[in-house]
Amino acid sequence: MQSLLRFLQRYHFTLLFILFEALAITLLIQNNNYQNTSFVRFTRNIKGRFYDQTVKIEQYLNLREKNRKLREENIQLRNFIARNLDTEVDTFKRVIDTVYNQQYYYIRATVLNNSIFRQHNYITLDKGRAAGVRPEMGVISSEGIVGVVRGVSENFSSVISLLNSELNVSAKLKNSGYYGSFSWTGRDYRYGKLQDIPLHVDVSKGDTVITSGYSAIFPEGIRVGFVEDIQEKGGRFLELTVELSTDFKKLNNVYIVKNLLKEEQKELENEFTAQ
Amino acid sequence: MINYLPRYILTFVILVLVQVLLMNNVQLGGYLNPYIYVLFILSLPFETPKWGLLVLGFILGLTIDLFSHTVGMHTSACIFMAFLRPMVLRALEPRDGYEPETYPSVRDYGLGWYFRYSGILIIAHHLFLFYIEIFKLSDFFQTLSRALLSGAFSLVFILFIKVFIKK
């Protein structure tokens, strides 16, 4: 108490000055627009910086927790990959996997070369024998079927385009299930024809044509195109003009279809035809 | 000191009126304002208590502020000046101290002494005033030159008043 009094006695002038000056500056800031706004801006700035620092410190202190969470997430993702993606690379695993009974396996490929204006059009893809591509495999895109692999080298494969008059694909009408032989018209890259549909089948324009799955090249249900025109041919069958769902002019990403059970199917079929 | 109270009140009123009515409208070179009202604090007697200086500074500044719509600006500058006055007086104290019955004036202590005394306090007041007016440090040197030039003008005015008008 004594020392406090002495302190006050000694510094009362300075303290009084600070008091008065504080009062004056308070008046200044309260009554003058410009000083007020700059004062507010200044304090807001300091506040912002302070919060910035505290957030940084908080983040630093939480690093351990964050690390743990990231590790857990990492493990989950790794497990997910091991479960879902790693196994697909190993095709043998899938064949003996009776739980999934997977019949088709897809290889992603990119179109390197493509022609549409010739009578016999071919496509070159960037995946070959090394990626597991073999002749007679189907090629599809996200829009519909593309063609069938004809020859493979180590890293490339040549595909008979659907726009090739040599290629016939087994296709069916999605509505009724009647199937026929699909081939290219040979003229326009946008149209093909579906033959051998019985006369009595009720077909209308716009019906969807899909693969039948009989040839063991394509899975069942891959889109081929849509019925554009219906014509009677030879008195017993219809010939349908089909607009292709795949746009061959801007083909880029395709999938090569590997039928894992093809050998088995072929073997069984051959056994009976041989008899 | 009681005897001089009416005289100081009169000085106060005259200085405030001159400052508000005349000097506030003087703008030398576009931005130099002389502030002669600080003469009131300069001319207070030596015996004035320190707290009295602060109170009088507060009242003087606030009065000027109320007339020029700058509440707090002159007040804070005047308080600052009042705070410095005892220190300046101590620093400039003659060897044998200040005589009783004398005032801080040209007549009692000479022009040289008064020049130093008022110069220091006026410059301090003007610096404080101009920086609190601009309220930022970005135009530091421009504000500095404004404060110093205005201070010089105020000093000239005050010396003029001291020497020729008020004996």
pLDDT at site A260 = 77
The pLDDT of residue B78 is 93
Q: Mean pLDDT over all residues of chain B? A: 86
**Residue B18, Cβ density class (10 Å: 0-12 exposed, 13-18 middle, ≥19 buried):** middle
Place A147 in a pLDDT band, splitting at 50, 70 and 90. Answer: very high
Output the CA–CA distances (angstroms, integers) from residue B1 to B38, B44, B81, in the order listed: 20, 10, 22
**Weakest mean pLDDT among A13-17, A78-82, A157-161, B46-50:** A78-82
| CB within 8 Å: B86 and A13 | yes
Strands A237-244 and A223-233: antiparallel
pLDDT at A92: 38
Residue-range domains of chain A with CATH? 2-61 (no CATH), 63-273 (2.40.10.340)
Residue of A nearest to B133 (CA): A35
Supply the angle between the helices A63-84 and A33-61 in degrees, to the nearest 10: 60
Q: B80 and A12 in contact by Cβ < 8 A?
A: no
Counting Cβ atoms within 10 Å, is residue A79 exposed (0-12), middle (13-18) or buried (19+)? Answer: exposed
Q: Say if residue B101 is exposed, middle or buried (CB neighbours under 10 Å; 0-12, 13-18, 19+).
A: exposed
Distance CA A85, CA A97 (A): 15
In this prediction, residue A226 carries a pLDDT of 92
Residues 6+ apart with CB under 8 A from A180: A170, A171, A172, A194, A195, A196, A197, A237, A240
pLDDT at residue number A275: 60
- This prediction has a pTM of 0.50
Task: Give the span between the Cα atoms of A260 and A98, in whole angstroms.
Answer: 12
Those residues whose C-beta lies under 8 Å from the C-beta of residue A94, and which sit 6 or more positions away, are: A87, A88, A100, A102, A105, A260
* Residue pLDDT, tens place only, A211-231: 988 877 888 888 899 999 888
pLDDT at residue A142 tops 60: yes
Task: Give pLDDT tens digits for A166-201.
Answer: 888 899 998 888 889 998 888 888 899 998 888 888
- B50 in A contact zone (CB under 8 Å): yes
What pLDDT, on the 0 to 100 scale, is given for residue A97?
45
Q: For A42-100, list the strands marked E by DSSP.
A: none
A29 phi and psi angles, rounded to 5 deg: -70, -35
pLDDT at B2 over 70: no
Instruction: Give A 16-75 residues with CB within 8 A of chain B.
Output: 16-17, 20-21, 23-32, 34-35, 38-39
Burial grade of A61 (CB within 10 A; 0-12, 13-18, 19 or more)? exposed
Measured between alpha carbons, how far is B112 from B72 in angstroms, rounded to an integer? 33
Mean pLDDT for A146-173 is 89
- Segment B104-149, tens digit of pLDDT: 888 888 888 999 999 999 999 999 998 888 887 777 888 888 889 8
Compute the nearest-CA separation of B76 from chain A (Å): 5
- pLDDT tens string B18-44: 888 888 787 777 677 888 899 999 988
Amino acid letter for position A50: F
Position A100 scores a pLDDT of 55
For the residues A148-161, what does the mean pLDDT come to? 90
Kindly tell me if the per-residue pLDDT of A150 is higher than 60. Answer: yes
CB pairs under 8 A between A and B: 61
